[in-house]
Copies of this chain bind each other. A is one copy, B any other.
Amino acid sequence: MKKNTKCPLRKSLRRILLYRGSLLRLQALGVNRFYSYTLGKETGVSAEQVRKDFSEYRIKGNQRGGYHVDQLISEMEHIFYKKGSQNIIVVGRGNIGSSLANYSNFIQRQINIVATFDIDPSKQRIRSEIPVYTMERLKEIIDRFAVRTAIVAVPEPAAQSVCDQLVEYGVGGIINFAPVILKVPDEVIINNINLSDEIESVIYCVSQACPEES
């Protein structure tokens, strides 16, 4: 394990998640054994990197025999879901919020959206499996479902204020889709996802004909 002062993981964590996705697909395909280079090719990562990452997370294979898909997946579950499936909420039931509420891939990953919120009361009439509440019930729902992670998908002007409320009510991790860099206390984990930036970086690289990491 590196002496990374901030955190014992980063890029490697992202890749572990990547590997898991790939392994779930391989599992669905009925594959039951794989090698570092198999997974590497599948995920676009070098075989050495795969082994290095596994080593960091204390994932052991079998010399000459590779790794077992099922076993690896359950080891990864163990790494990620010590505490069972996670209840999360989405604030903002606009386009992005609704996309997320309808996103079918979360179930497989044990990501459980328990509620969404919107200031606009008319949004509550949305027909969906996942309820839409007004902001008044934010604290209540966070408490009831022990929500520790939330997604911010409100328009830019409202984002910081929503974020502040979430932090106040005890949320420790935020994924933010509003095009602002949200300010949070040091102990709160924040993942700012800026769709324009994601697209623009590709546009730029295309115009320069230079590769971009995924």
Interface residues of A (CB under 8 A from B): 6-10, 13-14, 17-18, 21-22, 25, 42-44, 79-80, 82-83, 86, 88, 95-96, 98-100, 102-103, 105-106, 109, 111, 148-149, 151, 156, 172-175, 179-181, 183, 186-187, 189-214
B7 contacts A197, CB within 8 Å?
Answer: no
Chain B residues lying within 8 Å of A100, measured Cβ to Cβ, are 195
Query: Known contacts A44-B181, A181-B22, A191-B212: does B7 contact A205 (CB below 8 Å)?
Result: yes
- Interchain CB contact (< 8 A) of A9 among B7, B86, B96, B210: B210
Closest to A13 in B: B201
Chain B residues lying within 8 Å of A17, measured Cβ to Cβ, are 194, 196-197, 200-201
Chain B residues lying within 8 Å of A25, measured Cβ to Cβ, are 180
